[in-house]
Amino acid sequence: MSEPKTARKRASRIEVPAAEAADPSASSLYVQSVEKAMKVLTAFDGSKRQLSLSEIAMLTGFDMSATQRFTYTLATLGYLFKDPDSRKYELSPRLLDFTYHYLTSNELVSRATPYLQQLGSETEEATNLTVLDDTDIVFVLRIVSRNVFNAHVITGSRLPAYCTAPGLAILATLPDGEIDDILSRTNLVPYTAATVYQPRKIKERIVQIRKQGYAHAEDEYFVSDISTAAAITNAHGRGIGAVNIAVARSRWHADRDEKRFADLVISTASAISSRRRVE
């Protein structure tokens, strides 16, 4: 006799222990040596081009023996380069393979590229595609112009979501509980005198962004930087990225530009957004 459907459904469910659900690293599937290798790579945070073995050990918390084994393996694989004179390590260009593969295989980047190019050509300002990663936004596509304000912001740059127009635009599409969780895990600090960093004020701001359909920030992370953004959404209305236009204050005309740029980012984000019907 065939097994009832309900029984088969119950049997197909995988029971995940509560400890593993709360802490994925407690799972038997979790490979700690991979985590340690990633810790070595992320020790190179851009503050210093080269790090000695002892500096890597200090930054990762590993003993010298473990540090030596991981750096040797990563250098052998080509992800670290060891200077023969200083005997210090630095990141290898091979790591850019991951960036290349991400950008060329990512559907959102592919879909957004022609729209951002058109937006940049029309405004002669920097246009960006960002995605939310935990509490930060990450720049995954950046079209710069001769009027670019901050040349140090490049593909891969991270900024906090709570005080950037793209971050706020994406946050505004999320449920309130998820926003509370993100803010609770964020280091909320005033980067400038204009930064809105109080949770209550951030949430009030998000309510307004939901009403108007775009986010606007002035001088909140970089002084003299003005940004207008709209969220790119999936078929469920959840933000999967944001389009923004960044303008230097010296080129900003408040009486005309906010409305103009808001209309542009809203229409661009809408064109990129997924409109497939939710089943």
Residue 237 sits in a domain whose CATH number is 3.30.450.40
Among 42, 57, 92, where does a domain finish? Answer: 92
Q: Which long-range contacts (CB under 8 A, 24 or more apart) does 207-210 make?
A: 209/168, 209/169, 209/172, 210/172
> Smallest Cα–Cα separation from 230: which of 201, 187, 263?
263
Could you tell me if 144 and 263 lie in one domain? Answer: yes
113 and 168 both lie in a single domain: yes
39: in domain: yes
6 within some domain: no
- pLDDT the model gives residue 17: 53
76 and 142 together in one domain: no
Asked if pLDDT for residue 18 goes beyond 60, the answer is no
Q: What average pLDDT does range 7-25 have in this prediction?
A: 56
| CA proximity to 228, closest of 178, 169, 147 | 169
- Strands of 136-143's sheet in order across: 158-160, 136-143, 126-133, 239-248, 225-233, 215-218
Q: How many domains does the chain divide into? A: 2
Rounded CA gap, 112 and 42, in Å? 29
Same domain membership, residue 181 and residue 87: no
Same domain membership, residue 233 and residue 112: yes
Chain centroid, CA 177 distance in Å? 20
Say what the pTM is.
Answer: 0.84
Residue 277 lies in a domain: no
Q: Do 226 and 123 reside in the same domain of the chain? A: yes
Enclosing domain of residue 133? 106-272
Of the three residues 70, 92, 114, the one that is the final residue of a domain is 92
Q: Are residues 126 and 52 in the same domain?
A: no
Top-confidence residue, 171 or 148: 171
Q: What whole-number distance in Å separates Cα of residue 241 and Cα of residue 212? A: 18
Neighbour-count burial of 33, counting CB atoms closer than 10 A to its CB (0-12 exposed, 13-18 middle, 19+ buried)? exposed
Question: Which one of 27, 60, 92 terminates a domain?
Answer: 92
Are residues 209 and 113 both part of a single domain? yes
Kindly indicate the confidence band of residue 3, based on its pLDDT and cuts at 50, 70 and 90: very low
- Of 9-23, 145-159, 247-261, minimum mean pLDDT range: 9-23
- Does the structure show a pLDDT above 80 at 222? yes
CATH code of the domain in which 23 resides? 1.10.10.10
Lowest-pLDDT range of 66-75, 142-151, 191-200, 247-256: 142-151
